[in-house]
Chain A
Amino acid sequence: MVELDHTFSTGKDTDYNWQAILDLERLVPCVEGGSVLEATSPESVKAEIKVRMGAMSMTFKGTVEVAERDDDAHRALLKVKSRDTGGSGYANADVTFDVADGGGKIHTAAQISGKAASMGEGVVQSVLDALIKDFCGKLGRA
């Protein structure tokens, strides 16, 4: 299990930010290589993420859903469940958003297995940290 904390800034008000993180079709493409394949309900989508490692790449396909939401506290838990399409590994994550005026906080608890995990937990943590920082930057411009 890898746990990471990040903050993001949008310069927008709380309501705007709250709607932005609940809009999965807008949120998922903010992850580099991420795309929505199908909206299965207003709060769940089938999605994939293609992670490029130079010429090699890994594709994870699965679901993203808003598992819990507290509209008063502007806190939401998004659950990501995905499998490596080229192997037997998986990448799951519980991503908790705490939204406020101007931006918010993200807590990520990820579990990764298979080829990606074979790089070691330290490497996975570094890559995931860089991915989420990139995501936070894109979220600020979404």
Chain B
Amino acid sequence: MPLPPGTHELGPGDGTLVVRTGKGGAAAKAGHNLVLEVTRWSATLAPERLSLTADARSLRVRGGSGGISPLGDEEKAGIAQTIDDEVLKGGSIAFRSTRVDAAGDRVAVEGELELLGVTRPLAFDLASAGRRLTGSARFKQTDFKMKPYSALFGTLKVADEVEVAVDVQIPTES
């Protein structure tokens, strides 16, 4: 099914944009795999283009698995603060497509992701079902000159590769 015609402005009211992180290092057992929701973002979707910007200060912890104890509200808030202060530091997050190819229930997207001032090519597939679009992209933090966050004297590290997943419902009004 092709993308709905017209240009659509999308945001958090239309679905979710989440970042999933893993962990590594000798003390990986002490850390959590995180699900972080980007709570402020906006995207423009047209049959031939897709662009998105996200507020780096709007990530909130929605889930965490593993670790030696479950994440409480205080820890979740602390992680968001650490991301603000030590990882993203309010830097730029923007994606702009160079090619969008919808065929059947699959939308192939190629473009460029700008992350904290560094721009790299990024390609991913979305699945469309009616007006619902879902999909994810993976990239390495080091490709964007980011140093993956580490703690416990470097024995606990956030995995270099992160996954960004989207699940949106394209609104009927455009």
> A residues touching B (Cβ–Cβ < 8 Å)?
32, 51-56, 115, 118-120, 122-123, 126-127, 130-131, 133-134
Contact = CB atoms under 8 A, between A and B. Distances in A.
Top 3 closest pairs, chain A to chain B, by CB: A55-B78, A130-B153, A126-B26
Interface in B79-93: 79, 81-82
B152 A53 contact: yes
A93 B150 CA distance: 25
B153 A32 contact: yes
Contacts of B29: 119-120, 123
Contacts of A118: 68
Given A118-B68, A119-B27, A123-B29, A54 B149 contact: yes
Contacts of A131: 153
Interface in B138-174: 149, 151-156
Interface string B112-153: 000000000000000000000000000000000000010111
Given A115-B68, A118-B68, A126-B26, A54 B31 contact: yes
Nearest to A115: B68
A124 B105 CA distance: 49
A127 B27 contact: yes
A56 B153 contact: no
Contacts, number: 60
Given A54-B149, A55-B81, A123 B30 contact: yes
B153 A54 contact: no
Nearest to B158: A54
A52 to B, nearest CB: 6
Contact of A51 (B78, B82, B152): B152
B14 interface: no
A127 B154 CA distance: 8
A119 B30 contact: yes
A62 B29 CA distance: 26
Given A115-B69, A127-B27, A54 B82 contact: yes
Interface in B6-23: none
5 contacts: A53-B31, A53-B151, A55-B75, A123-B29, A127-B27
Most buried by B among A52, A119, A134: A119
A131 B68 CA distance: 19
Interface in B31-47: 31
A120 B30 CA distance: 10
Contact of B68 (A32, A119, A126): A119
A56 B27 contact: no
Contacts of B155: 123, 126-127, 130
Nearest to B61: A55
Contacts of B152: 51-53, 127, 130
